[in-house]
Amino acid sequence: MKISHPGLAALGLCFLVVVAWGPRGPKAGAADANAKQTDTKTQDPDTLIEPFTRPPLAELDAKAEWTDQSVLDGLELLRAKQAKEKPLATISEALKLTNTSPQNNAKILSALGRLPERTSDVNWDAPINRTLQMDVKSMNPILASSVAEFDVNGLTGFGLFGFDWTMRPFASKDAVVSWQTSKDRMADKIVLRNDLTWSDGHPITAHDVVFSFRTIMNPKVPVPAQRSGTDKLRWIEAYDDTTLVFFHKEALATNIWNINFSIIPKHIFEKSVQEDPTLAQSDVHVKYENDPICGGAYTIASRQRGQEIVLARRENWYMHKGKQVRDKPYFKTIRFRVLEDTNTSLLALKSGEVDESLLTAEQWTTQTKDAEYYQRNTKASGLEWVYFYFGWNVKTSFFSDVRVRRAMSYAFNHDEMLNKLFYGLYEPSNGMFHRTAWMAPKKPLPFYKQDLDKAEQLLEEAGWTDHDGDGTRDKMIGGRLVPFEFTVLCPIAADRIALCTLLKENLDQIGIVCNVRPLEFTVLQEKTQKHDFQAMFGGWGTGTDPDTSDNLFVTGELRNFCNYSNPDVDKLYEQGRKEFDRDKRAAIYGKIAELIYADQPYTFLYFRNSFYGFNKSLRGYNYSPRGPFNYSPGFTSFWKAVP
């Protein structure tokens, strides 16, 4: 089943073709031979694709020295893993436990996280009610730009690749017959299954993949998130309905992630994208926004904007010409409730209106420990590589000096944040790579601790002193005295506001005025993307590869909201994606982490463990550094038992 684009894994937390010809057309051999003489730029002027002459497949096969790559099934991987593990408790024992210790947490996950032993154990008609922390802006997968959109599109969209709980990439058995890489690493060949269909019955073919690539690379189409990584491809050729070759610009260790992008149906969008490159404004695009053609295991049954999205299991996903060809999804329907407020989500979990909910540290500690909560629910936690930070816009007069940014990190009371605001549940962060990640620096970086004397020393060295005696630090800039008063933006969430308020209180002690401005997610997202802020509170989920963090820290990149720039960091990211030895890559990214730590464009705050409440009827939940959902099998391993 489709797992959302790994190259998009670094999306902020603060904040899916073929012409309808009926029977299959002729095999692309002769047609190919003609097409390959035309370069892509002549073919389509509205493209960022460089001219490229595609070689005949026979010629390519003769020279490529193909190496077979993994084609796997996430559920099969999990079944094999669990077959070697003895449960630490029975289901009945686990359901009686309160999660008050690491030992009880391990027992709950070991017993309740297992896949069904028999198909008769599964309640195949069961629905599941899930939560979304924000509404979905678009149902078109290539327009996705938020975690909520990837949660939904991961179930309704079609894709070729996935990755397991160790971040190991593979081609998905649900969609792919074989995957091979050329010896020089300049090409990847994929053979698709011939039993794939869109929800309207049209076959999914290699031509859909090529069309999607060309659409993403059309500069008029507003999909910068999808284009990041995909733009490293030179071309994709569909040699017939099922044979694809991805041609790369360079031999890169990250090419596996660059060939994984969202796919949309060519027969739906081929004409309309030329008329409306926004994919959103024309009557056709409005129609398919409200009633999308899906390539995944589920379709959209209904949608009430701002309230809920209901998905329905798609029979022609797992059945083909009367035969079952893929695993039948465990849930008949999936209802996503849009619940932006964490307190509302918890109330819905307690009342049985939803079956799962992300819990804050306070909720885990104080609001989910009584008999009333455990009557209907349990809870479980797992390590998740999600870090949060204060971001300093280095193009402002306040934070252009590294000494000031370091002073901010010394001024903040990290211990109070961890122990009082987050009840000792979260780990401190010293950079974007968790200490358990293979790319983390081998020599751990020290954690910042509050040191107001050091903060004041750095501020004075940077010229921020109280020149006029009013109690607020100031500095002569451009011939005028500028007071050190700035605004930090944050989401409208109680714990985020409390954290920023703590920053405000800390800075007040050293003569700096910090104003806290909570904003709705869409407004916050717009302001950060436009660099329209002085400081911000944000969070990033882990990438499947350390290179995915380049769009946060490389000069001028898409999500480099803070305008950070260090030529050495830029060069190291280039080296990292060209190095294939994992140990050598790890050393490169470790050095990047060290340089960013020294420059402090972020004050790194904490890594948030994944805390969830689950209805006791749920089974099959497991954790990865991406949490319980966004990996393979992820959500597709969830199920409900026969009552």
pLDDT of residue 44: 58
The distance in angstroms from the start CA to the end CA of the chain is: 27
Kindly state the DSSP code that residue 608 receives in the 8-state scheme: P
Q: Give the pTM.
A: 0.88
pLDDT tens digits for range 512-546: 999 999 999 889 989 999 999 999 999 998 778 99
The verdict on whether omega for the bond into residue 483 sits within 30 degrees of 0, i.e. cis, is no
Q: Answer whether 373's CB lies under 8 Å from 615's CB.
A: no
* DSSP per residue, 332-397: SEEEEEE--SHHHHHHHHHHTS-SEEE--HHIIIIIS-SHHHHHHEEEEEE---EEEEEEE-TTST
Q: Encoding tokens for residue 453?
A: 């004397």
How far are the Cα atoms of 356, 378, 614, 625 from residue 339, in angstroms, in the given order? 12, 20, 16, 24
The domains of the chain, with CATH numbers, are 17-72+125-359 (3.40.190.10), 389-607 (3.10.105.10)
C-alpha–C-alpha distance, residues 28 and 182, integer Å: 21
How much is the pLDDT for 253?
Answer: 95
Q: What is the pLDDT of residue 45?
A: 59
pLDDT digits (tens, 9 = 90+) for 352-366: 999 999 999 999 999
Contact of 505 with 515, CB cutoff 8 Å: no
Structure tokens at 549: 């963090």
Residues of the chain with pLDDT under 70: 1-45
Q: Is the Cβ–Cβ distance between 164 and 80 less than 8 Å?
A: no
Q: How far apart are CA 331 and CA 551, in angstroms?
A: 36
Helix (H) or strand (E) holding 527: helix 521-529
> Strand pairing of 485-491 and 535-541?
parallel
Q: Of 221, 213, 200, which Cα lies nearest the Cα of 143?
A: 221
